[in-house]
Amino acid sequence: MSESPSVFPSFPKFSNWKGISEYFPVQKESVWLNYCGTTPVSTYAIQMMNVYLEEYAKIGIFTPNFSEPYIKKEIRGYLSEILHCDPTEIGIVHNTSEGMNFYSHSIQIPKGKRILVLENEYPSNVYPWEHWQNKGVTLGFVKVGNTPNEFLENLKLELEKKDVFILSISPVHWCTGVVFDMETVSALCERYGTKLVIDGSQAVGHIPLNFSKIKVAFCAFAAWKWLLGPLGLGVIYISKEESKGFQLVFKGQASVVNDSNYFPYRDEWKPAAEQFEQSTINFNDWIYFFASLKMLSTLGFSRVQERIYEVAGMLKDMLHELGFTLESDAFPDVKTGILAITNHKDPKKFQPEAIQAHLKQHGIITAVRLGRLRMAPHIGIEEEHVNRVRTHLQTYLQK
């Protein structure tokens, strides 16, 4: 990455993780276990925003340390490191739905073909495809199954029909935490001539994704989950191969080259990834996201992923000790940071909404999805937080 201006706040590397929760104020009064949903701001992002706003207040858009080209270059650089792709293949949007819709409305799919998405997929990867149903294209769902291998068998059966034009899936299921083998998925898609699209919101920053090894045409994801970014900011990836001849159905002020020169009107479009950045952006969000990525990069992206698994492992052991069963028990060798609690040794005690409400009364934030109690930790969770969750679960079970 580029050398950082000296005005940027520094972040410690944390040789071990003790004390890192101090950088996440939400963890002082509560235990936030919904990082796969939304992520509260870190003090580091607050510091970076303060430095930027002070500079912006004095100089306006001419801020020397936070120029738009520099911040965009840094964001793209960090994301390309995570995804193992070229920075020019990355664009910045508002959310997954926007990115998916832009892409879905800008491509061509022959009549009689199918678009395949996951069973119980998040709406952002379903609704953007629905308009194709009025154009002679079928929208279908592939069963997830109980294990990653069972999903692959289900997927193969669908692809063998040789009519699936696009497979659009999440590498990690948002409700169950099941992680799919994307290298195998990519190979199956290549074998049967299917274009692979990814909703990366539950994957990017959580599991390794190497776009130099898996052939992905397009990907969209939210910034505010595993990457600890701001609500209302998203990212798209469009491969160089997919970019050939690609043109968005929408055209905005920033869609064309030399967009800062308003006259004469222009017909020459920017490269594909930049076409998704239609006009004036919310630059405050860019600074927030830049700070979060810089923090994660300082810690090491792969090291952060391993820490997520480590903390999830602490929670998993604790839940097993208390008699709970988890979705991931069916695939113990697959790493995931999303823990979906499915039952208890005393089935009468497993009332997900009641457990969620009890925990929330004590400042422990979880979610209920598909009849499962879902927990998703991040680096801000330390052993003391796991112990706090244990204490309040024990209280619930003793009722």
Q: Where are the strands (E) in 184-313, listed by range?
A: 195-199, 218-222, 234-238
Residue 245 to residue 188: CA distance in whole angstroms: 25
| Tens of pLDDT, residues 288-300 | 999 999 999 999 9
Q: How many CA atoms lie within 13 A of 279 on its CB side?
A: 5
Would you state the pLDDT for residue 25?
97
Q: Is the dihedral of CA 322, 325, 331, 336 positive or negative?
A: negative
Which pLDDT band, with edges at 50, 70 and 90, does 29 fall under? confident
Residue 56 to residue 70: CA distance in whole angstroms: 15
| Tens of pLDDT, residues 105-119 | 999 999 999 999 999
Would you state the pLDDT for residue 5?
81
Q: Identify whether the C-beta of residue 278 lies closer than 8 Å to the C-beta of residue 255.
A: yes
Return mean pLDDT, the chain: 97
Would you state the pLDDT for residue 1?
61
Question: Is a pLDDT exceeding 90 seen at residue 348?
Answer: yes
Question: Is a pLDDT exceeding 70 seen at residue 185?
Answer: yes
Would you state the pLDDT for residue 125?
98
Q: With pLDDT > 90 as the criterion, what percentage of the chain qualifies?
A: 97
Averaged pLDDT for residues 372-376: 98
Q: With pLDDT > 70 as the criterion, what percentage of the chain qualifies?
A: 99
CA distances from 9 to 195, 265, 295 (A): 42, 41, 10
Sheet with 90-93, edge to edge strand ranges: 90-93, 234-238, 218-222, 195-199, 164-169, 114-118, 138-142
Bridge partners of 40, per DSSP, are none
Structure tokens at 37: 């949903």
